[in-house]
């Protein structure tokens, strides 16, 4: 799916700004043919939760309504006009001038609809009904229940089966873009480079509809100079002496696509892309033929006031902080991040592990590795959850959206699912097949495994290209005891290394809750000293394991969660506070990471 941009044939109307907003108490039905019965407004894009002083709004589970009005300039009325949501969390029903025009479920992927037939000359009224409900059929997974209040009205409740606040709303940009009637629908780019000769082939596939007689593709270099051009919807274009896209050293080409009728250019679209080769072999993760070492983070889209909403200055700051620390990568835990963030990573050379919304696929949550002595353990996860359809959908939509991004180096199909329980393999095998089939660039695939999924009990490791572990020895297990944690870390990594000598291993989570400003001369848990000791311990072990190819700690910054006895205003495992102030450990990690080269660390 193409990102909306302006080109000589396309323009954009950004609907960011103040929208009417109300929660639906489900007492009086909302009549969509009339203006929304409220004068309250909120800012879009952003989560709705933290924009008011009302606890009722913040904690609302159920339906909410948004409304705005817009006009379309006369000059544009003969163009094809498309309304596009960067996301709508988690389910949306969209009405234009009182008529339902589209519906979408899944809160972190874009969707769009052509609106010409519903437009009127006067103000156009755009109304969106949203649901933030999650259950056993959705991703993420929530425990859903209903009750009645004293007046007999329905009260809905979502208990998140995951460790982040269930922020919702119109969290990403809402735009209308124009195209001519005959237009470019999609572009797929598959670069392949011969590392010996430095010559690249770029397979280009263009989907277009309407009246046109020719497709032209030109590849421009970063300075905007044409390198090669060709004609046809399917082509293989050659670039000699290619500039590679390297981690932290990005180089972006642009595929400029035109469709032409009678010699006249009808529609133009420019898609940036990078040329790089990603391979997994002999226990290494190779970037352009050299072993890559992941240094970085699991993150969240989570900031003050915006909630999970698009916050570009913070995205820019976060990547600058990463680069300053010598980090080179992050995972979009636990959902696809904004398209704007992906484009930024393309530019900045930040390597991304791109994750679906599959979090909470486990009914017996815990961290006790000894819970399952035997290796044919079975809980009811794969009987109770009905997420297969949502899972296929998010894989399809994520790959469709992100397939051309140079920054995307691997897909994460799920986070911490019950892969230790019987039934997991049957659930995951078709999903991995689907991802591998759909990705034109055939990137590696993984899932991040929870502690209870050990080398002995994990049933699905055969499906992954890279073993990605979320581990909390010394925190959830043996809290405060770093000696035992060091041994457990080493023993487990060695076992993985021996059992799967061809698979690279990395940590996609490890961390300790740390209250900024809390110090302890005994290095007690929650202190800044403990956090540093914890990371020093883990780093020491990582360096001993030959196939260990990366450390992505948990978490970049403190973030908001639901209430719980383990959470004081959220999760405090950030190495930065939620305001992006560094905790003590940042100096240690910066020293470590600036010394570790991005390529060639583990030979």
Active site (catalytic) residues: 416, 509
Find the binder of ligand BDP among 355, 416, 465, 558 (CB under 6 A).
Answer: 416
| Non-local CB neighbours of 511 within 8 Å, separated by 6+ positions | 472, 475, 531, 534, 553, 554, 555, 573, 575
571 counts as binding ligand BDP under rule CB under 6 A: yes
522 burial (CB, 10 Å; 0-12 / 13-18 / 19+) is exposed
Question: DSSP string covering 423-461, please?
Answer: THHHHHHHHHHHHHHH-TT---EEEEEPTTS-TTT-S-G
CA–CA separation, 519 vs 517, rounded Å?
6
Q: Which residue is nearest to ligand BDP (CB)?
A: 163
Q: Which is nearer to ligand BDP, 189 or 361 (CB)?
A: 361
Q: Which is nearer to ligand BDP, 404 or 415 (CB)?
A: 415
Give the shortest CB-63-to-ligand BDP separation in angstroms: 26
Q: Closer to ligand BDP by CB, 20 or 334: give it.
A: 334
Give the chain's end-to-end CA distance (angstroms, integer). Answer: 38
DSSP category for residue 485:
H
C-alpha dihedral sign at 565, 568, 570, 571? negative
In the region spanning residues 524 to 563, those forming contacts with ligand BDP, defined by CB under 6 A, are 554
Smallest separation (angstroms) from ligand BDP to the CB of 437:
27
Binding mask 312-351 for ligand BDP (x = CB under 6 A): ----------------------x-----------------
Reported residue count of the chain is 603
Kind of pairing, strands 548-554 and 505-509? parallel
Task: Look at residues 473, 401, 466 and name the one whose alpha carbon lies nearest to residue 432.
Answer: 466
Among 443, 573, 578, 602, binds ligand BDP (CB under 6 A): 573
**Torsion angle, CA of 454/460/463/466, rounded to 10 degrees?**
-20
Residues 109-148 interacting with ligand BDP (rule: CB under 6 A): none
Q: Considering only CA atoms, which of 602, 601, 599, 554 is closest in space to residue 575?
A: 554
Supply the minimum distance, in Å, between the C-beta of residue 554 and ligand BDP: 6
Total residues at interface with ligand BDP (CB under 6 A): 9
**Does the footprint of ligand BDP cover residue 598 (CB under 6 A)?**
no
CB of 451 to ligand BDP, least distance (A): 8
Please say which residue, 439 or 509, places its beta carbon nearer to ligand BDP: 509
Q: How far is the CB of 116 from ligand BDP (least distance, A)?
A: 43
- At residue 43, φ and ψ (nearest 5 deg) are -90, 135
| Residue choice 67, 160, 163, 355 for contact with ligand BDP (CB under 6 A) | 163
In the complex with ligand BDP, which residue's Cβ is closer, 241 or 370? Answer: 370
- Tell the smallest beta-carbon distance from residue 429 to ligand BDP (Å): 22
Q: Which of residues 467-486 bind ligand BDP (CB under 6 A)?
A: 470
Question: What is the C-alpha separation between 138 and 360, in angstroms, rounded?
Answer: 10
Region of residue 570 (phi > 0: left; psi between -120 and 50: alpha; otherwise: beta): left
* Lateral strand order in the sheet of 63-70: 41-44, 17-24, 63-70, 124-131, 91-96, 99-105
| Least distance to ligand BDP, CB of residue 172, Å | 21
How far is residue 551's CA from residue 589's CA, in Å, rounded to a whole number? 11
Residue among 50, 67, 509, 558 that touches ligand BDP (CB under 6 A): 509
DSSP-derived secondary structure for 399-430: HHHHTT-TTEEEEEEEES--TTSTTHHHHHHH
Element (H, E) at 489: helix 482-499
The dihedrals phi and psi of 310, each to the nearest 5 degrees, come to -55, 125
Residue 124 or 571: the one with the smaller Cβ distance to ligand BDP is 571
Q: Judge contact between 381 and 364, C-beta under 8 A.
A: yes
Min dist. Cβ of residue 475 to ligand BDP (A): 8
Q: Considering the complex, what minimum distance in angstroms separates the CB of residue 259 from ligand BDP?
A: 44
Q: CA dihedral defined by 100, 104, 110, 113, rounded to 10 degrees?
A: -30
- Whose Cβ is closer to ligand BDP: residue 271's or residue 558's? 558
The smaller minimum CB distance to ligand BDP, of residues 268 and 454, is found at: 454
Nearest CA to 418 out of 459, 456, 390, 455 is that of: 459
In the DSSP assignment, the letter for residue 372 is -
Instruction: Look at residues 358, 460, 362, 365 and name the one whose alpha carbon lies nearest to residue 411.
Output: 358
Considering the rule CB under 6 A, would residue 355 count as an interface residue with ligand BDP? Answer: no
Nearer to ligand BDP, 23 or 445 (CB): 445
Nearer residue to ligand BDP within complex by CB, 346 or 509: 509
Least distance in angstroms from the C-beta of 573 to ligand BDP: 5
Residue of the chain from 303, 315, 332, 415 that contacts ligand BDP (CB under 6 A)? 415
- Interface residues with ligand BDP (CB under 6 A) are 163, 334, 415-416, 470, 509, 554, 571, 573
């Amino acid at each position: 799916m193409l990102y909306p941009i302006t080109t000589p044939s396309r323009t954009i109307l950004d609907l960011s700004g103040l929208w009417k907003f109300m929660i639906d108490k489900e007492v009086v039905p909302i009549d969509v043919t009339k203006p929304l019965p409220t004068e309250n407004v909120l800012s879009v894009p952003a989560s709705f939760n933290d924009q008011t002083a009302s606890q009722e709004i913040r904690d609302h589970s159920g339906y909410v309504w948004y409304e705005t009005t817009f006009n379309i300039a006369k000059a544009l009325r003969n163009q094809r006009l498309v309304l596009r949501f960067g996301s709508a969390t988690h389910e949306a029903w969209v009405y234009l001038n009182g008529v339902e025009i589209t519906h979408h479920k899944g809160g972190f992927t874009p969707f769009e609809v052509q609106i010409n037939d519903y437009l009127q000359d006067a103000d156009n009224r755009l109304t969106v009904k949203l649901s933030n409900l999650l259950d056993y059929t959705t991703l993420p997974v929530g425990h859903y229940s209903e009750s009645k209040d004293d007046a007999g009205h329905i009260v809905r409740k979502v208990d998140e089966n995951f460790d982040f606040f269930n922020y919702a709303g119109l969290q990403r940009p809402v735009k209308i873009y124009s195209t001519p009637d005959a237009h470019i629908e999609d572009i797929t780019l598959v670069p392949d480079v011969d590392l010996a000769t430095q010559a690249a082939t770029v397979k280009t596939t263009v989907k277009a509809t309407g009246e046109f007689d020719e497709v032209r593709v030109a590849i421009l270099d970063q300075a905007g100079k044409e390198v090669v051009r060709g004609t046809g919807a399917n082509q293989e274009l050659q670039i000699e002496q290619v500039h590679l896209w390297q981690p932290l050293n990005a180089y972006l080409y642009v595929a400029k696509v035109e469709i032409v009728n009678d010699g006249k250019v009808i529609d133009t679209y420019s898609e940036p892309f990078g040329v790089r080769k990603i391979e997994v072999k002999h226990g290494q993760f190779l970037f352009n033929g050299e072993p890559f070492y992941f240094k970085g983070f699991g993150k969240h889209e989570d900031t003050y006031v915006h909630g999970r909403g698009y916050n570009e200055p913070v995205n820019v700051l976060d990547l600058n902080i990463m680069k300053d620390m010598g980090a080179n990568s992050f995972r979009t835990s636990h959902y696809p991040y904004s398209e704007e963030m992906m484009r930024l990573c393309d530019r900045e050379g930040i390597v991304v592990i791109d994750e679906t919304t599959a979090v909470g696929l486990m009914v017996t949550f815990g961290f006790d590795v000894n819970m399952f002595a035997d290796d044919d353990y079975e809980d009811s996860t794969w009987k109770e959850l009905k997420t297969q359809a949502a899972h296929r959908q998010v894989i399809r939509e994520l790959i469709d959206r992100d397939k051309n991004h140079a920054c995307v180096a691997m897909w994460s199909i799920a986070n911490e699912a019950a892969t230790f329980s019987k039934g997991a393999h049957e659930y995951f095998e078709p999903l991995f097949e689907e991802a591998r089939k759909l990705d034109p660039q055939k990137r590696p695939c993984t899932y991040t495994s929870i502690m209870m999924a050990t080398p002995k009990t994990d049933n699905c490791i055969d499906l992954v290209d890279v073993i990605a572990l979320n581990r909390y020895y010394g925190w959830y297990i043996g809290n405060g005891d770093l000696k035992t944690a060091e041994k457990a870390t080493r023993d487990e990594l060695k076992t993985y290394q021996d059992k799967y000598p061809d698979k690279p291993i990395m940590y996609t989570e490890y961390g300790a809750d740390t209250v900024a400003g809390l110090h302890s001369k005994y290095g007690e848990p929650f202190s800044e000293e403990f956090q540093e000791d914890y990371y020093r311990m883990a780093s020491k072990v990582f360096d001993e394991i030959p196939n260990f190819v990366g450390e992505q700690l948990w978490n970049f910054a403190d973030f908001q969660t639901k209430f719980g006895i383990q959470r004081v205003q959220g999760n405090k495992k950030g190495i930065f506070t939620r305001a992006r102030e560094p905790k003590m450990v940042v100096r240690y990690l910066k020293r470590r990471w600036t010394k570790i080269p991005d390529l060639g660390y583990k030979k």
